[in-house]
Amino acid sequence: MENTSSLGKKNFLLAIVAFTLVIAFLAAAGPTEGKEKGISRESLDLLDRINKATAEVAEAIKPSVVHISSTRIVQGRRFPSPFFNDPFFREFFGTPFGPFEEPRNYKQSGTGSGVIVSRDGHIVTNNHVVKDTDEIKVTLADRRVFKGKVLGSDPKTDLAVIKIEASDLPAAVFGDSDRLRVGERVIAVGNPFGLDQTVTSGIISFKGRADVGIADYEDFIQTDAPINPGNSGGALVNMRGELIGINTAIVTSSGGHQGIGFAIPSNMVKIVMEQLIQRGKVVRGWLGVTVQAVTPELAKQLGVEADRGALVGDVNEGSPADKAGIQRGDVIVRYDGKEVRDVTALKNMVAATKPGQEVEIEYRRNGKTGTVRAVIEEQKETAGVTARHENRLKGLTVQDLTAEIRRELDIPARIQGVVVVSVAEDSAAYGVLRKGDVIMEINRKKIKGVEEYEAVVSRLKGDDRVLLLVYRKGGTFYVSL
C-alpha cells in the first residue's frame, strides 16, 4: 500500500515537472502566430514598443489640436420664384438669369484645424483657414467651444494666429525643425470635424521643398503622412511629441493627396507667430538683390559648384547689397554663417533677418571667394488696392507695376498698367483673371497706375459691362465682364 502511494506521488511530481517544462518551452518559443509567420520574438517585442510609443505620442499631442470653423458673408443671387430654382429648369435654360435673379447675402462656411501654442489661448493655423472670415469658432479636444479672433495673418507663409479667451490650455511644445532628418518618423494630427482628432503617420520624405505654389515663402517639410483638407493647420510632430511643423493641404481634383503632405517647419512658424502676436503683422528683412538658380552651365563659367548658392542677377541701387559691394554676377554661397543651398534658402534667410542686423555674406566672384558685411533693411510692402465698389470689378486686388515685379514676371517696359494681386471668389473676374495679369485698359481708357485704376473703377455702376485689355505671358487680349 505504501509502495503504491509512493509511486503515485512520484508520478504526480513528474507530471508537474513536465508541465513546467512545456510552459517554459512555449514561452521561449514566443507567440504561435509570430512563429508561424516567421517573425521572431525580438521583432515582435520591438514592434510592440514602436506601436506603444506611437500611440503615446499621439495621445500627448491630441489635446493641443483644435477644430476651427469659420463663417463669412458673401453676396449671391436668388430667384424670385421657386419655379426658377427647379434644377431641371436651370439645366435646360442655363444660368445666370440676369434680371430674374435678385441679390442677397448668404453664409459660406469653412473648416480646418489649429494648434494651441500658449496656455492663455494663442492658436496657430493656416491663413487660408481663417482668411476673410466674419466669425470663428474654436472647438477644443474636451468639446468646449470658444469664439476666436484673428490677431494677425501672413499670406506669404500661409500662417495665422487666432486668440480665444481661455487659460491653462494644453500648449504644444516646439521642436527644432532644422534638426529633422529625411527618413525620420512623424505623426500628423488634425481635427477636421470638431468631433475627434484624426491621426496619420509616416516619415520625412524631403526637407526644404519649394515651388509648391502655396505661399511666397516656402520651405516645406514633405511627408508621406496624408494631410487632407480639414486637417490644414494641424500638428506635425516628431517621435518625442514635439511640434516640428504646421500641416498645410492643397485642394486637388481628388480632394486630397496621394501619399504627399506638406508642413511649414516649426522654426519658421515661431518667427512668424511671435511677430503676429506682438505686432499683428510680419516685418521681413531686405537685401536688395534679384537672384537666380546656378545651373551646371553657369557654374562652369562662373567657377563655382553646380546646384549650390544663388546667382545675383541684379542689385537695387542704394540697397544694403549695393552699399556692401555685392555685384551682378556674384554667387552668394553663405549668409550669416549658414550655407546657401539655393535661391529659396537665401530668400527665406534674408526675410527672417531682423531689420538693422548686420550679417556676413560670402560670395564667389571670378573664381575667387570674398566676404562683405551688410546691414539688412526692412522689406517695404507694395501698396495694393481692392475694388470694393458694387460693380463687376469688386473683389479684384491690384497694385502698381514696380521694377522688381517687372523682373520677376518678365514684363516688358512697354507694358503699362496695374498687376493683379488676387481675385476674390465672389468677383465677376474670378476664373477669368489670374494673379500676375496686367490690366492695361478699362473700357478703352489707358491705366498707368493704381490711382487711375481706382478713379475709373469708382465711376462704374453695378450693371455696367467692363471691357479690359490684359497682358499675360507675352501677349495681350481683351476680356469682357
Residues carrying an active site annotation: 128, 158, 232
Burial label for 39, CB within 10 Å (0-12, 13-18, 19+), is: middle
List C-alpha distances in Å: 59 to 51, 66, 187: 12, 14, 11
For the chain, state the CA radius of gyration. 31
Distance CA 335, CA 361 (A): 5
Task: Report the distance separating Cα 163 and Cα 123, nearest Å.
Answer: 6
In the beta sheet, which residues pair with residue 281?
none
CA-to-CA distance for 294 and 343, rounded, in angstroms? 9
User: Which residue type does 256 have?
Assistant: G
Beta strand 331-335 pairing with 418-423: unpaired
Whether the CB-CB separation of 396 and 427 falls below 8 Å is answered with yes
Distance between CA atoms of residues 176 and 190, nearest Å: 21
Residue type, 89: F
Distance CA 433, CA 462 (A): 19
Q: Give the cell for residue 453.
A: 485704376
Q: Which helix (H) or strand (E) holds 23?
A: helix 2-29
- H/E stretch holding 128 reads helix 127-130
Q: Could you tell me if 377 and 285 are in contact, meaning their C-beta atoms sit under 8 angstroms apart?
A: yes
- Euclidean distance between CA atoms 40 and 30, whole angstroms: 8
Q: Answer whether the bond into residue 355 is a cis peptide, omega within 30°.
A: no
What are 326's three cell numbers?
A: 555685392
3-state SS assignment for residue 28: helix
Residues in Cβ contact with 337 at an 8 Å cutoff, skipping those fewer than 6 apart: 360
Alpha-carbon gap, residue 192 to 311, rounded angstroms? 43
Distance between CA atoms of residues 25 and 17, nearest Å: 12
Q: What is the separation, in whole angstroms, between the first and last Cα of the chain?
A: 115
| Residues facing residue 238 across a β-bridge | 186
What length does the chain have?
Answer: 481
Could you give the CA distance from residue 481 to residue 110 in angstroms, rounded to a whole number? 28
How many angstroms separate the CA atoms of 430 and 396, rounded?
8
